[in-house]
Structures are given as structure tokens and as C-alpha cells.
Amino acid sequence: MADHRQSLSDLADLAAVGAAKVNAVETSVEKTEVIVEKKPVVVESTAPLREQILDAQGRAYATGRRKDAVARVWIKPGSGKIIVNGRDQEVYFARPTLRLVINQPFDVAERRDQYDVVATVTGGGLSGQAGAVKHGISQALTRYEPNLRSTVKAAGFLTRDSRAVERKKYGRAKARRSFQFSKR
């Protein structure tokens, strides 16, 4: 017996085969098999896997951390105003690069100027505080809109940046630097 295999290339072929028998067609002399590849069908669900987490005022809350800085962040729908420690972001973070860092989660999620942010930050320097606010905004954004979690996570904003200053060792000037050598 000769074994002839055919593959389906279009949906029209599938409809034609569906009308006939799918498994096998037997003739008196030779056997012809039609193989239908079964591929998993992806069904998009409108219901999110996670629930929206809001407080009594309709805000999403999250804590962000970076180096020694800790930021408590609340977001709610608004005009895109960002307040850090009671001051506007342009006043608190004077460097444009730090403001760029803070707005990265909104740019990735394409939600710029759609949420108002209120944040309180303690500890660390300005760079660490900006990273902490970014982490907090990312976490709060996924709690307000759970559907955005995959895009924000793919950008790497939900993971806490664990890099920190290495501790000073004894017998050293800093963490790794030795004291200056003196010949005499």
C-alpha cells in the first residue's frame, strides 16, 4: 500500500474535508489519509485574571522601593498631575532625567496625562527616590488596571531593582578600595 499524506493549507480545504470524512478514506487498492493538524485555539477573555484593588476614595495604592528610598504612591484618574511630598514633580525632581524616569510606566502603558499621582518618599537620594516612585506607580497602575500588568511587567517595572551600595569592609577605605600605600 502506498501512503499518501496531504496537509491542509487554507480554511477552505478544512471546510471541504469537514464535509467528507476527516479520519481516513479507504479505497479498494490504496489508502489515503488526510491529517488535520489540531492547533490550540486561543480565546481572549475580557475578564481580567486579577481584580481591581481600590481604597475608599477610589485610588490605587502601592509601595515602591529603590536603594534606601521607600515611596508610598496613590493614583486616581485625572489630568496627569504628579505631586511628590506635597510639591509638584518639576520642583521636587528638578533634573529632567528623573522626571523621565517617573513617567516611564505611563509611557509604556500609553496612559500619559490620564492619572493623578500623589506620592510620599523617604530615605535615599533623589535618584533612588525617583526609582522608588517609578516602582510604586507601576505597582499602583497594575492594581487600578489589571489588564496593563503584562505590558508593565514586560518592561521590567514591577520588579524591585535590588542593586544597592555595597557595605564597607574592615581594613578597607571603602567597600573594596584599600588605604593608600606608603613606602615610608
Q: Are strands 60-66 and 69-77 parallel, antiparallel or unpaired?
A: antiparallel
Q: Are strands 3-6 and 115-122 parallel, antiparallel or unpaired?
A: unpaired
pLDDT-based confidence at 151, cuts 50/70/90?
Answer: very high
| Contacts of the segment 52-56: beta carbons below 8 A, 24+ positions apart | 52/143, 52/144, 52/145, 52/146, 53/143, 54/143, 54/144
Residue of higher predicted confidence among 139 and 16: 139
Grid coordinates given for 95? 533634573
Q: Where in the chain is the domain with CATH 3.30.230.10?
A: 60-154
pLDDT-based confidence at 25, cuts 50/70/90?
Answer: very low
CATH topology for 60-154 is Ribosomal Protein S5; domain 2 (3.30.230)
pLDDT per position as a tens digit, 39-81: 665 545 555 578 888 999 999 999 999 999 999 999 999 999 9
CA distances from residue 167 to 65, 172, 173, 175 in whole angstroms, order as listed: 19, 11, 11, 6
Residue of higher predicted confidence among 82 and 184: 82
The model scores a pTM over 0.75: no
- Per-residue pLDDT, 44: 54
